[in-house]
Amino acid sequence: MTAPDVAVRPVYQRSTGTRLTLWLSRLGWRHAVMWVVAAFAVFPVLFVVSAALNPVGTLSSSQLWPTGASLANARELFQNTPFTTWYANSLFFALTNAAVTVLLSALAAYAFSRMRFKGRRVGLIGLLVIQMFPQFLAIVAIYLMFSNIGEVYPVIGFDTRWGLLLVYLGGALSINTWLMKGFFDTVPRELDESAQMDGATHAQVFFRIMLPLVTPVLAIVALLVFINTINEFLMASVFLRDTASQTLGLGLYQLVDSQRNANFGMFAVGALMLSLPTLIVFWFLQRYISEGLTSGAVKG
């Protein structure tokens, strides 16, 4: 938006009726539409909140509007399930994967943006091509691979954190690297050239000059990877079969799978807890989000 809208201001006084008609045709219907849309957007969230507070804790007794405020469901979740372990696992995967992916991706993006070398073109196109083969499509092969790896190295076999993390990191170089490279390209070269003149090494240019300048894109990529990892189900369900090693998402799935009606209150608390980190990150990064999203990374 460049210039503010130039509206013609009336110099004479309109009657109340005319003003109301004008308001309705200009803004009134917009408010009406937005009320409907907002209601559509909010009602499932409202339902899950009221179910979490519902003292009875079953699906059949949960109403759209809270019928009571009790922490019984939360207490039950903490006592009857390994909730803290699940939560810790989820956060471990999401945080570690986000951090390492950002680092690996930024390293590669720096090379692609600032250096000219043999294979650069092939590498960049290759990254695009690989996007057509989402990692989870190869899940059969990954499963077979890790049933062999797990025999030699139990530390990274099934039911371990490190095995699944390694697989997640296989997707570190992805479209996100493109996103980062595009952002790196917008940083003027004069900056790193002048640093080189002053005797900085390539590593110093990267860590001291580039990284601080591209923080927004690092934040966006971290956010996207975090969200994707915490919601990842397919590979986690193949890798983590032992209850104690599972993530919160898998745990919640089983919670409502076996006892759909009775466990719903516990599930609702868990669902809110699983959404909490995402909500927090969204809140803090909101000014970067629409800008980063338009540049091409996808969720939903």
By CB under 8 A, what part of segment 179-238 binds other proteins?
182, 185, 189, 192-193, 196-206, 227, 230-234, 237-238
Among 83, 214, 264, 265, binds other proteins (CB under 8 A): 264
Give the whole-angstrom CA distance, residue 201 versus residue 117. 18
31 forms part of the interface with other proteins (CB under 8 A): yes
The stretch among 8-16, 67-75, 79-87, 139-147 that binds other proteins (CB under 8 A) is: 139-147
Contact segment (CB under 8 A) with other proteins among 13-21, 31-39, 66-74, 213-221 equals 31-39
Our finding on whether 134 is near other proteins (CB under 8 A) is: yes
Handedness of CA 135, 141, 146, 152 (dihedral sign): negative
Closer residue to other proteins (CB): 71 or 280: 280
Stretch 45-64 residues interacting with other proteins (CB under 8 A): 45, 47-48, 58-60, 62, 64
Of residues 66-95, those binding other proteins (CB under 8 A): none
Helical packing angle, 161-169 and 139-152, nearest 10°: 140
Nearest Cα to 105, choosing from 193, 224, 200? 224
Q: DSSP string of 217-244?
A: HHHHHHHHHHHHHHT--HHHHHH--SGG
- At 162, the amino acid letter reads W
Choices 8-16, 70-78, 81-89, 273-281; region in contact with other proteins by CB under 8 A:
273-281
Q: Which is nearer to other proteins, 80 or 257 (CB)?
A: 257
Helix (H) or strand (E) holding 118: none
| DSSP letter (8 states) at residue 156 | G
Among 84, 166, 191, 287, indicate the residue that binds other proteins (CB under 8 A).
166
The candidate with the shortest Cα–Cα distance to 146, out of 124, 164, 173, 121, is 164
CA 286, CA 104: separation in Å to the nearest integer? Answer: 24
117 binds other proteins (CB under 8 A): yes
Using CA atoms, how far residue 37 sits from 41, 293, 295, in Å, is 6, 22, 26
Q: How far is the CB of 168 from other proteins (least distance, A)?
A: 8
Element counts in the chain: helices (H) and strands (E): 15, 0
Residues 49, 272: contact at Cβ < 8 Å? yes
Q: Binding other proteins by CB under 8 A: which of 76, 95, 96, 159?
A: 159
Token pair in block for residue 247: 């993530």
Regarding 274 and contact with other proteins (CB under 8 A), the answer is yes
Query: What's the closest the beta carbon of residue 16 comes to other proteins, in angstroms?
Result: 19
Q: Which residue in the block uniquely carries the two structure tokens 């338009």?
A: 294
Candidates 145, 162, 191, 215; binder of other proteins (CB under 8 A) is 145
DSSP 8-class letter at 133: S
Which residue's CB is nearer to other proteins, number 72 or number 289?
289
Q: How far is the CB of 12 from other proteins (least distance, A)?
A: 21
Binding of other proteins at residue 44 (CB under 8 A)? Answer: yes
- Choosing from 53, 98, 111, 266, the residue that interacts with other proteins (CB under 8 A) is 111
Choose which of 177, 180, 265, 266 interacts with other proteins (CB under 8 A).
177
Could you tell me which of 281, 300, 114 has the C-alpha nearest to residue 213? 114
State the nearest-atom distance from the C-beta of 121 to other proteins, in Å.
6
Kindly state the number of chain residues that form the binding site for other proteins, as judged by CB under 8 A: 127
